[in-house]
Chain A
């Protein structure tokens, strides 16, 4: 789960990383008042979870209170990449003398936290690493030992920092690693950390992503997860406990297992366009499949549905009942092809067939997609 910048900033401040004075607001009036308290000039930043907000006009400077009002109004008024902006951050504009990049992330392949430090910040870290590799230091950290302050200092030294700068950046990196561990983060990143003309070190951006699987031990974040899923159908998927990914085609997909779902999508994509990816998770029941049908059918312009399920301890016959009752109640007439295998498969096939669903008993997904193609192309 990504945190909003203002949430990340609050977390940083709480854990001992200094950030510029800021306020969060949803109104131009309040923004002006806050700007006055903070002191002009200020930077107004759209609080959204999609990347590239700067280029889309979501980050702007204001030198006067009138301008604060105007800018805030404009940013709140205009969606960024199709998503509405509900809040802005009004932050003190600081005079920057130097920028640094600090990041902690999960190195999936080595299975360790990875700490990255760069003496050049503000731009993408990949870019700095390519042009000035000597300015970038990275380390895999043995998680049972953690990152010590002296190791952070070594890294700061590696990228050419000295004295006060070395001390300040290393100590911030050390805290950033602790924030990563304490909050079960997948990413904690400061891009950039700045040294101001007054010699202060401030995190002027805050990127934090918390591991969804760990939210049970961070109840403060747990309540907020759902609100952050921007796509309405994907949000609904999350509410009913499945993974739904909204796509642009006409064939609805319902699959158990992510790999099988992706393979179904790839095969269907040869001839048609998938309308969605949907992975049922392990809790198949009549009720869940009923809700899944309802979700998939909310997509406009659907021409067919492709169901690809395996049942182990999952009662697929029960799931089939949910599918059938949805079709009956809502008088669904678009073609549906189902390949459903596993425990009690014969019984499951009977239930589906009686409702007019085309049942494929072969194992290969390709064969089932051929059936769907015949149904759809036969209709033309």
Chain B
């Protein structure tokens, strides 16, 4: 089923009655997402696109068996809504909302710690398993089903790179937007691990960007625990120091968080890093050919079963 999301996943939309919630619910349904309920406090009993709306997440879980939730909730309400969803037993939460206070994000993450739940975001474009389902705002027509896993810190750039891959006949197993803030709920190595263990993924593409240490931390996992090949691109090589480049997490402090630091770290563990987005296609293609040429026993082919 690729990772985290399939056509069977029973999806709840929190904040379904807002402008973005309504429009995205329509598009997620059209794509094939199994949306079973919506929640907006005080709007229980209504319907959006034929989907029943409840006042609480617990009702949506009990009445409709919701197991995953995508958020179109305003920033100030995200913390309460997330704690409610965790409490109600939701197993996957995708927070699309931008500008969630950092302290709230830290609290949500602390609250979820040790529980059997996966959260993505904040400021995540969502997650899509092409041909099956999507949670979030990714435009379905940019993606095709296939065997490349994509992990991205950015939204629109993930669309573009997936579309570049699709145009070259390289479909995706799942594309995950991990979120663009300084504090995200799920770090890159955890997502790499999911793809490493996924029989439907042969290779993983990382779409990184300047700021933070996600890519640097990922190299440890790649070096020691990952057999599948990884290809990467890091946006922001020409970004100046000390400026937030449109994402809360995309800021270079001195030598920390530079493109060079990330590219060097990734290359040291054998990751091929594209100079420009479109070059990813060529690197992926060449790598897949090499994997097929070596049928047995080497690290290169362990991804293909």
Instruction: Identify the A interface with B (CB < 8 A).
Output: 106, 108-109, 111-113, 142-144, 181, 184, 186, 211-214, 216-217, 243, 245, 247, 255-263, 265-267, 269-270, 274, 277, 279, 282, 310, 312-313, 342, 363-366
Q: Is the CB of B183 within 8 A of A261?
A: no
Instruction: Give which listed residue, A214, A247, A270, contacts B102 with CB less than 8 A.
Output: A214
For A364, what are the chain B residues with a Cβ–Cβ distance below 8 Å? 160, 164, 277-278
How many residues does chain B have at the interface if contact means C-beta atoms less than 8 Å apart?
66
For B154, what are the chain A residues with a Cβ–Cβ distance below 8 Å? 257-260, 262
For A113, what are the chain B residues with a Cβ–Cβ distance below 8 Å? 106
For B245, what are the chain A residues with a Cβ–Cβ distance below 8 Å? 243, 245, 258, 261-262, 277, 279
Q: Is the CB of B209 within 8 A of A258?
A: yes
How far is A62 from B213 in the complex, measured between Cα atoms in Å?
43
For B19, what are the chain A residues with a Cβ–Cβ distance below 8 Å? 313
Instruction: Give which listed residue, A181, A257, A366, contacts B157 with CB less than 8 A.
Output: A257
22 A–B contact pairs at CB < 8 A?
A: A111-B106, A111-B109, A113-B106, A143-B106, A144-B110, A186-B102, A213-B248, A214-B104, A217-B101, A243-B244, A245-B243, A257-B156, A262-B235, A263-B277, A266-B235, A267-B277, A269-B237, A277-B246, A310-B160, A312-B24, A313-B20, A365-B160
For B98, what are the chain A residues with a Cβ–Cβ distance below 8 Å? 282
The yes or no answer to B302 lying at the interface (CB within 8 A) is: no
Q: Is the CB of B156 within 8 A of A211?
A: no
For B23, what are the chain A residues with a Cβ–Cβ distance below 8 Å? 313
Counting chain A CB atoms within 10 Å of each CB, the highest count among B98, B106, B156, B250 belongs to B156
For B105, what are the chain A residues with a Cβ–Cβ distance below 8 Å? 111
Instruction: Give which listed residue, B137, B184, B243, B249, contacts A312 with CB less than 8 A.
Output: B137
Q: Is the CB of B213 within 8 A of A260?
A: no
For A265, what are the chain B residues with a Cβ–Cβ distance below 8 Å? 236, 238-239
How far is A269 from B276 in the complex, measured between Cα atoms in Å?
11
The yes or no answer to B103 lying at the interface (CB within 8 A) is: yes
Q: Is the CB of B101 within 8 A of A256?
A: no
| A216-B76 contact given A258-B209, A266-B236, CB 8 Å threshold | yes
Cβ contacts B211-249/A at 8 Å (1 or 0 each):
011100100000000000000010111111001111111
The yes or no answer to B48 lying at the interface (CB within 8 A) is: no
CB distance from A33 to the nearest CB of B (A): 37
For A247, what are the chain B residues with a Cβ–Cβ distance below 8 Å? 240
Q: Is the CB of A261 within 8 A of B102?
A: no
CB distance from A295 to the nearest CB of B (A): 15
How far is A342 from B184 in the complex, measured between Cα atoms in Å?
27
| A277-B277 contact given A143-B106, A184-B101, A257-B156, CB 8 Å threshold | no
Q: Is the CB of B239 within 8 A of A109?
A: no
Instruction: Identify the B interface with A (CB < 8 A).
Output: 19-20, 23-24, 27, 75-76, 98-107, 109-111, 137, 139, 142, 152-160, 163-164, 167, 180, 182-185, 187, 207, 209-210, 212-214, 217, 233, 235-240, 243-250, 276-278
Instruction: Give which listed residue, A106, A217, A259, contacts B209 with CB less than 8 A.
Output: A259
How far is A255 from B187 in the complex, measured between Cα atoms in Å?
26
How far is A211 from B104 in the complex, measured between Cα atoms in Å?
11
| A262-B250 contact given A143-B110, A269-B238, CB 8 Å threshold | yes
How far is A216 from B75 in the complex, measured between Cα atoms in Å?
10
CB distance from A356 to the nearest CB of B (A): 25
| A263-B235 contact given A144-B107, A257-B155, CB 8 Å threshold | yes
How far is A12 from B76 in the complex, measured between Cα atoms in Å?
27
| A363-B209 contact given A211-B103, A245-B245, A310-B139, CB 8 Å threshold | no
Q: Is the CB of B276 within 8 A of A263?
A: yes
Q: Is the CB of B278 within 8 A of A366?
A: yes
Q: Which residue of chain B has the shortest Cβ distance to A234 in the bound complex?
A: B243
For B187, what are the chain A residues with a Cβ–Cβ distance below 8 Å? 109
Q: Which residue of chain A has the shortest Cβ distance to B76 in the bound complex?
A: A216
| A260-B156 contact given A108-B212, A214-B102, A266-B276, CB 8 Å threshold | yes
CB distance from B275 to the nearest CB of A (A): 8
CB distance from A269 to the nearest CB of B (A): 4
| A259-B101 contact given A109-B213, A142-B110, A342-B139, CB 8 Å threshold | no
How far is A366 from B157 in the complex, measured between Cα atoms in Å?
13
For B20, what are the chain A residues with a Cβ–Cβ distance below 8 Å? 313
Q: Is the CB of B157 within 8 A of A263?
A: yes
